Amino acid sequence: MLRKLISQDMKNQKRTYILLILISLGCAVVSSISLVIEGLVSYEASSALSAMGLGLVMGLTLLGAFVSPVAIVFSVAIYYYRKIVTDEAYLTFTLPATAKQTLNAKMISGSIWMIIAAAVMIVNAAIISIPSILVYSSDDYTVGALLKDIAVFFILPYSSVANVILGNLAALFSSLATMLSQLALIYLCITYGGILASKHKALVGVALYFGADVLIGGLMEAIMMSFNFEYLVGSYESAMILYYFINALLYGGFTVACHQINKHLLQNKLNLA
């Protein structure tokens, strides 16, 4: 049943999100072309009007390249709200699925789309920045030199191959755990908003999210700052790796806690069996 629920959630959201991704990538390409043209054509060779037009196109497409992936995250939250809190929820509640299965399906499908959105933002950054860096840099700065600089960025903090792999994996796990914790908190606050408010449930959920996010973020930061990682492990690079892993564990635990509380609320307050 879980597989069917995930498949249905992915199918329901696919058309909108793929459109947003294509718009985002298209904006990134146009923005990159605009930057390259601006770098190749001198201001004297173009009129003030054409320069303003080019700048406007570049600005709007640059905005679109990064707003569209963010819109996916908002859409994931809206989809959960519609399926759990609004009048559409009766369809969810009539399915032969438990609260655990329903929530797991929403969490898995939402996580997949959020990871895709993050990947699109990284791709967009590369599409926009790499051509413009090559155009604006000196003539002897090649694609190979740029890729080498990018590789050095990920390798430089570490003194061994093992630490390079471990450090970057730890950073990846930390980022994923932080992202999943945000999704779990968003879902929990939407559910709470639906329980607490008879009207304006979405606004209550948003208010709960921002309040909880500030509180939890401050608490997590205080916990992390209380550790002297370099003193514990004896070196800066090992301290970085330990920091990332502990951050991943903290946010992973918080994700599980939010998920379990939400499941309890769905079962006992919203009567989702």
- Are residues 170 and 132 part of one domain? no
- Are residues 181 and 122 part of one domain? no
- Asked if the structure places residue 217 within a domain, the reply is yes
Per-residue pLDDT tens digits for 99-110: 888 899 999 999
- Asked if the structure places residue 37 within a domain, the reply is yes
178 contacts 255 by C-beta, under 8 angstroms? no
- Are residues 219 and 189 part of one domain? yes
Out of 41-45, 138-142, 222-226, least confident range: 41-45
Residue 49 has pLDDT above 50, yes or no: no
- Are residues 133 and 14 part of one domain? yes
Out of 1-5, 71-75, 227-231, least confident range: 227-231
- Are residues 10 and 125 part of one domain? yes
Residue 62 has pLDDT above 80, yes or no: no
Out of 78-92, 96-110, 136-150, least confident range: 136-150
Rounded to an integer, what distance in angstroms lies between the CA atom of residue 244 and that of residue 169?
Answer: 9
In this prediction, residue 272 carries a pLDDT of 59
The 3-state secondary structure of 190-211 reads HHHHHHHCCCCHHHHHHHHHHH
**Which whole-number Å values give the CA distances from 188 to 91, 106, 206, in the listed order?**
20, 12, 11
Confidence at 41, pLDDT banded by 50, 70, 90 = low
- Asked if the structure places residue 148 within a domain, the reply is no
Residue 129's CB: how many other CB atoms inside 10 A? 14
Give the pair of three-digit tokens for residue 217. 């973020």
Confidence at 178, pLDDT banded by 50, 70, 90 = very high
Tokens 């968003």 appear where?
186
Out of 17-26, 63-72, 254-263, least confident range: 63-72
Rounded to an integer, what distance in angstroms lies between the CA atom of residue 10 and that of residue 26?
Answer: 23
The domain in which residue 78 lies consists of 1-141
- Are residues 136 and 204 part of one domain? no
Domains of the chain: total: 2
Tell which of 141, 169, 200 closes a domain.
141
- Are residues 167 and 120 part of one domain? no
Per-residue pLDDT tens digits for 235-265: 777 788 888 889 999 999 999 999 999 999 8
- Are residues 169 and 117 part of one domain? no
Residue 88 has pLDDT above 70, yes or no: yes
